[in-house]
């Protein structure tokens, strides 16, 4: 039996979805989601306001997959399933942005796109991945103020809590959270396909590490004391932190590190050898809020990141 693949199946991008979603108020930030149901797999595109924004990319874990992670400025970010092959969707986003501006190729007109991928082949038995056309479709469908939650976009076939075996993992997806502090806006969006389990603020495992026979979820330390884990490969958490608060280069870089480190509270264990965790911190630099320090912004964004992780697996 031939495995379904991109060049042997007529793939039609799906861009219209129903279900839980986050509504937020961040003028100019447009988010597009596209999927191939035949995978199922998908990609999620964050199209920044005109002109783009300064960015800092924090790459952790032992198995990352990125493109453009050295950029200090970006116009869009594309997260996708399909492991390494899903990076093609990022190139599709860049191609569509080129088409939207009339195919101009001046040095100062080329728009930069950062890409990150998750390994989502585990739950499915085919090789279909988010390709160039899916990336283009996601960008064309982008709109302001709405972010689909759960098993959508890049999180379509995401799973979490595979520390002890893939069978003990559970479906997850993409989550988001937003807050406004005066004129400062900050939003966090994440694709959770983690080796570790999702933990709430009471310390309870809410997704992953699930005993298939008993239907119960076990805390990490308790489970480790009972048995040794099997390192299931193919895990990654991809996160975007975007704010309109003006930040210098050093502060933006530290925001990325601070928020990324904070995710270890929500995902346990985190940054493992078999994880490829990536966080992109972006500022559009539109607001000067002297009452909000960069460190305080990091605290707020870190709490939003925890909220976003919890929102990735809505019941």
pLDDT at 1: 46
State the Cα torsion 88-91-95-100 to the nearest 10°. 110
In sequence order, the β-bridge partners of residue 174 are: 150, 191
CA 87 to chain centre: 13
Tokens of 174: 């993409």
Exactly one of 236, 239, 243, 284 is catalytic; name it.
236
pTM: 0.94
Residue 213: count of CB within 10 angstroms of its CB: 6
Distance CA 192, CA 161 (A): 10
Q: Is 163 a catalytic residue?
A: no
pLDDT at 219: 67
Spell 241-279 as b/e; 16+ CB within 10 A means b.
bbbbbbbeeebbbbbbebbbbbbebbbbebbbebbbbbb
Residue 215 φ then ψ, to 5°: 75, 20
**163 burial type by CB count under 10 A (0-12 exposed, 13-18 middle, 19+ buried):** buried
- Structural domains in the chain, CATH included, are 24-311 (3.60.70.12)
H or E element that contains 294: helix 294-311
pLDDT at 177: 98
Q: How far is the CA of 98 from the CAs of 12, 52, 101, 132, 136, in angstroms?
A: 22, 14, 5, 13, 11
Please choose, from the candidates 245, 247, 197, the residue with its C-alpha nearest in 3D space to the C-alpha of residue 223: 197
Residue 64: count of CB within 10 angstroms of its CB: 17
pLDDT at 247: 98
Tokens of 35: 């999927």
Distance CA 70, CA 253 (A): 12
Residue 19: count of CB within 10 angstroms of its CB: 11
pLDDT at 230: 58
pLDDT at 157: 96
DSSP designation for 4: P
Residue 109: count of CB within 10 angstroms of its CB: 10
Tokens of 113: 């796109």
pLDDT tens, the chain, 315 aa long:
457 899 888 999 999 999 999 999 999 999 999 999 999 999 999 999 999 999 999 998 888 999 999 999 999 999 999 999 999 999 999 999 999 999 999 999 999 999 999 999 988 889 999 999 999 999 999 999 999 999 999 999 999 988 777 777 899 999 999 999 999 999 999 999 999 999 999 999 999 878 777 766 776 656 554 555 555 677 899 999 999 999 999 999 999 999 999 999 999 989 988 899 999 999 999 999 999 999 999 999 999 999 999 999 976
Q: Phi/psi zone of residue 195: left (φ > 0), alpha (ψ -120 to 50 degrees), beta?
A: alpha
Place of tokens 């160039």: 132
Residues in the chain: 315
């Amino acid at each position: 039996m031939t495995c379904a693949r991109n060049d042997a199946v007529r793939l039609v991008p799906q861009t219209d979805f129903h279900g839980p979603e986050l509504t937020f108020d961040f003028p100019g930030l447009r988010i597009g989601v596209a999927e191939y149901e035949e995978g199922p797999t998908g990609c999620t595109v964050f199209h920044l306001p005109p002109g783009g924004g300064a960015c800092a990319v924090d790459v952790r874990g032992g198995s990352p997959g990125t493109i453009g992670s050295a950029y200090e400025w970006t116009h869009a970010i594309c997260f996708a399933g399909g492991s390494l092959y899903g990076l093609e969707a990022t190139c599709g986003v860049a191609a569509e942005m080129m088409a939207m501006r009339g195919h101009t190729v001046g040095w100062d007109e080329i728009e930069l796109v950062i890409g990150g991928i998750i390994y989502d082949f585990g739950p499915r038995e085919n090789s279909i991945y988010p390709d160039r056309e899916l990336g283009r479709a996601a960008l064309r469908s982008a709109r302001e103020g709405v972010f689909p939650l759960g098993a959508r976009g890049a999180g379509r076939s995401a799973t979490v809590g595979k520390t002890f075996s893939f069978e003990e993992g559970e479906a997850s997806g993409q989550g988001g959270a937003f807050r406004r502090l005066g004129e400062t806006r900050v939003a966090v969006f994440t694709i959770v396909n983690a080796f570790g389990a999702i933990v709430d603020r009471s310390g309870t495992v809410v997704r992953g590490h699930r005993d298939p026979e008993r239907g119960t979820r076990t805390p990490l330390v308790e489970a480790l004391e009972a048995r040794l884990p099997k390192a299931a490969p193919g895990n990654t958490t991809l996160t975007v932190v975007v704010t309109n608060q003006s930040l210098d280069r050093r502060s933006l870089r530290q925001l990325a590190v601070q928020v990324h480190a904070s995710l270890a509270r929500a995902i346990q264990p985190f940054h493992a050898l078999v994880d490829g965790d990536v966080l992109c911190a972006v500022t559009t630099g539109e607001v000067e809020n002297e009452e909000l320090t960069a460190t305080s912004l990091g605290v707020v964004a870190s709490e939003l990141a925890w909220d976003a992780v919890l929102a990735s697996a809505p019941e």
